[in-house]
Structure 1
Amino acid sequence: MVLSELLTNAVRHARVSPGREIETRFVRVGDGVRIEVHDADDRWPVAREMGADAPGGRGLLLVAALADVWDVAPREGVGKVVWAEVRVPGAT
């Protein structure tokens, strides 16, 4: 679900032209995994509180609730990477 929300956010909100890549990476970190979504938009996402009847806008709030930590960092050159780390029980 974390990957789905990060990708959906990039597709809906990042100003990425058709044909430009949105890249995903998965990195093993300690006892879990770091999920990264890279795009060419320099604007950083903002988590917003939405009303109970709002049809959407909860993606980053879900990421914050499900991930152990998440953040945004600039990419070398252009764009950003939005990442989240999730512990995997039993991983060694």
Structure 2
Amino acid sequence: MSEQQEVVRRWRREARCVPLARAELRKALADWGLSELEGDALLVASELVTNAVRHAAAPRGREIETRYVRLGNGVRVEVHDTSPVPPVVGDPDRDGDGGRGLYLVAAVADRWAVGERIGPGKRVWAELSVKVP
């Protein structure tokens, strides 16, 4: 297992950062021996980073930060952006392609929340753990 217990990266606020952030998380999970969380953790990261790209009302030059933190038997996925506006769990449009992200996060994560961060903006995080039978 890797000695590094946290992976922090900054991304330009553009759609192409989503697959890059997913790749960093996939690598961290493999290094930490948590590959069984990959499917759900990548879904969470995709939704949270996509929300930051699409909805964080901040200047285009501002970056998004991802933090992947190794927990005892799981991982915390954090996405930081400079917008103070919290994400809203909307009413998903059955015929549209949006509005379901936070529902999906809530469905697969053990818990998730929105909190403050050092500096302007917010952090949205979710924790996932390996389920013990």
**Structure 2: unaligned runs, 5 residues or longer:** 1-42
- What are the Cα deviations for residues 63-91 of structure 1, in whole angstroms up to 9, with x where unaligned? 1111110000011221000000011357x
2: CA distance, partners of 1:25 / 1:83: 9
- Which entry has the higher C-alpha Rg, 1 or 2? 2
Runs of 4+ in 1 over 6 A off after TM superposition: none
- Alignment pair present for 1:20 and 2:36: no
**Structure 1: unaligned runs, 5 residues or longer:** none
Identity %: 59
What is the root-mean-square deviation in Å for CA atoms of aligned residues? 1.4
TM-score by length of 2: 0.63
1:53 matched to which residue of 2?
Answer: 95
TM-score by length of 1: 0.89
2: CA distance, partners of 1:9 / 1:88: 25
2:129 matched to which residue of 1?
Answer: 87
Residue type at the aligned position of 2:75: V
Local SS of the residue matching 1:82: strand
Contact 1:33 1:88 in 2 (8 A): no
